[in-house]
Every structure is written in structure tokens, then in C-alpha cells.
Amino acid sequence: MAPKTVALEQQPAVSPKPTAVPSPPPPQAETNTVGGAGAVDTAEMYSAVEEAAILYASDHPDQAAALLLDFVKNNADRKELKPWMMLFDIYQIQGKKAQFEELALEFVVKFERSAPTWSDGKVSGAQTENPKAGGGAAVEGYVALTGILQGDKDSLFLNLEQVAQKGAGLRLDFARLEGLDASGSRRLVETLQGLKKSGKKITPISVPHVTDLLKALLGQGSEDEQAHWQLLLNLYQCQEMEAEFEDLAVEYAITFEVSPPSWEAMPQCRQPVAVAMVDAPDELPHDEDTFFMSGVISADSAQQLQELKNFAASRSEVYLDMADVSRVDFVSIGDFVGVLVGLNCGGKKLLVRNANEMIRALFGVMGVDQFADILKRKIG
């Protein structure tokens, strides 16, 4: 499907004023209800949702929650889901379990269906490893390998280590890699093993591509060839591909007349995402098509946004996973939207998934759905 296009329009001044972005669409009759009461979103609900989204984006979560709670309490005859879901997300992010569970009981009675469930793992601040300045969760750095990987590229391998050490780990993209020599494979193995020992996450991207490159280099049994076998074993291990690892380990032992390498679990590697969504494809994309963001998207997120542009450069379709993003700052949303607009105008199809309800509401206000598909989350 051809990517959507959007024409940018001049926005009226607002306070606080974000960077210029496309004009928000007018309130629409989007189905967001359960049962017969209130067949569509009302203008009153849209107003409450819009105001709460802007308050939350402006870092006023308590005021946003109070506004939504007031709407829910004063409109008991309506069955409009959106304010409830936004309130659930605020309570979850703030760690207000008692309020969350009280709201869940009311939700079950009102809507006669299961409510969202509390998750201790989603409480803000629960992830304490390598926090970034500003309180956001640490982000895995992104590096794309291109051309022929050779061992004498000292600056490249130094950059890999520095990028990984600055954050929670390294997302290493092989999509544009054209080949490897023995010295390149050897140094990459050493780098990955060093990062593993230091506790950094390693997320290989486009593994099938580099796997094909490496397999084409196997078969001669030369000393130099060992490096390619070892890199392939490392990648299998990082992807939790134990069966493939064991088969290759036996072949390696026979070829080089050594003991077969042992499997070692690598819990720091990202596992394939498996989150159910209402309007997502039946099969979720592999990690190589997904860019993961985290923390608060703000003026301090220039590196993440640049990494997103780098990641999208070699892809026609990009999934942007925002499960670990707690908030998109209102003052800075123009920078974020500007990147999405630029990618869309460059022919990229963008799909945003796992964004919390506050972010989804903000995206509705700012008209992000004009140039990116915002995938819904499953309720309950």
C-alpha cells in the first residue's frame, strides 16, 4: 500500500507552543463505545480527551487525571471508553495501584467486560539500569553496518562500543552490510562478547541477511574461516536459536577437530515482540522492521530521532514501537512529528504500535494519523 501523504498547514499559536506541525483534524464520529448508550464519541468527550492529552503532554499528569475522572464521574450514563483507558494509563504510569484497581472494579460493572490489568513491570521508574538524564529509561544505541566489514576499521568498532556503553546496549543493523572478511568477523565477535560481559543488551537486526552472507563463506575449513563460524554461533545465541546453534556447533567441532562450543543463555538480548492488537496484522513484524523508543520524547531525544531516521533509511515500511515511551512532550512534539512527516514524504510507510492512550490521544489532537497508521492496543 502506498504511503499516505500530508500537506502541512500553518497552525494558530498555542501556549506552550510546540514546533509547527500539521493542523489537527476536527472532532470525528469515531466508534469508541460499548453497548447502546452513546453510539459515537461526543463533542464534550472529545474536548475532555483533547485537554487531558495536552495537560499530560505538558507534564501535568495529576491535572489530566483529575479532568478525566471528573468526566467519568459526571457522565455515568455514557459508555465511552477513551477517557477510561486514558485514566487507566495515567494511574499505571504513576504507580497508583489502588486507584487503578478501584477504577477497574467500576469499569467491569459499567461495561460488563474485563478491565485492563495492573502490571508491576510498567510502573514508571521500575527499570533502573543506566537511566538517562531527565529520568527516562536507558535506550539501546543503534548502529547500521554498511559495505564490507573489515577488522582494520578501528573507528567503527570503537563507535560500536561507545554507542552501547552510553545506553542500555546496542541494536546492530546488518540490512545494508555487503560482506565480511575474516578480520571483520573476528573483531565483531570480540566486540559482542565484550558487551555481553559488561551486561549490555545486544539486539541484532536483519539477522537472516547476515546469516546468508556468513554461510556463503563456510565450507573450506581454513583458519581464517573460524571467525565466520564463531560470529554465526554468536548471532544464533543472541537470537535464542538454540537448535540452530547446536547443529552448527557440531559441524564446527567436526570441521576444526575441536570440542563443540557450549550454549549460553543470553537474557539481555531482546526477544521477538508478541503483543496482541486490535487492528494489527495477524503476524507481527520481526525486530528488523521495528524501531523501539523509550523514556520521554522531549528536547533531549535528538539522538533517538536521528537513530530512527537512520533505521528507516533502508526500509520501505517501519514499525515504531512505543511500549516503553511514557510521554511525548507537548513543547517538543513538533520535532518528533517533523521526523515522521519527513519519512512519510520520503515514501516510508509508518505504523505506530503499543503507544499508551495518552500518547494516542495527543496524536489524534496533532493529526499524526494523517501520515502514520496508529495501531490500537487490545483492551483487557
User: Over 70: is that where the pLDDT of 68 sits?
Assistant: yes
Domain assignment of residue 11, yes or no: no
Q: Residue 298: which domain range?
A: 287-374
Q: Determine how β-strand 317-328 pairs with β-strand 201-205.
A: unpaired
Domain assignment of residue 199, yes or no: yes
Domain assignment of residue 4, yes or no: no
User: Over 90: is that where the pLDDT of 133 sits?
Assistant: no
Number of domains into which the chain is organized: 3
pLDDT at 42: 63
186-206: pLDDT as tens digits: 999 999 988 888 888 788 888
Non-local CB neighbours of 250 within 8 Å, separated by 6+ positions = 260
pLDDT at 364: 86
pLDDT at 282: 34
Q: What CATH number is associated with residue 110?
A: 1.25.40
pLDDT at 187: 94
Please give the Cα distance from 183 to 188 (Å, whole number).
9
Q: Across all residues in the chain, what is the average pLDDT?
A: 77
Domain assignment of residue 158, yes or no: yes
pLDDT band of 272, cuts 50, 70, 90: very low
User: Is 252 found in the same domain as 153?
Assistant: yes
- Of the three residues 236, 256, 276, the one that is the final residue of a domain is 256
228-238: pLDDT as tens digits: 999 999 998 88
pLDDT band of 277, cuts 50, 70, 90: very low
> Whole-model pTM?
0.55
Q: What CA–CA distances, in Å, run from 267 to 70, 202, 238, 290?
A: 44, 10, 9, 20
Bridge partners, residue 180, by sequence: 149
pLDDT band of 59, cuts 50, 70, 90: very high
User: Is 236 found in the same domain as 153?
Assistant: yes
Please give the Cα distance from 158 to 110 (Å, whole number).
58
Domain assignment of residue 3, yes or no: no
User: Is 292 found in the same domain as 238?
Assistant: no
Domain assignment of residue 272, yes or no: no
User: Is 309 found in the same domain as 355?
Assistant: yes
Q: What CATH number is associated with residue 342?
A: 3.30.750.24
pLDDT at 287: 62
Please give the Cα distance from 171 to 288 (Å, whole number).
10
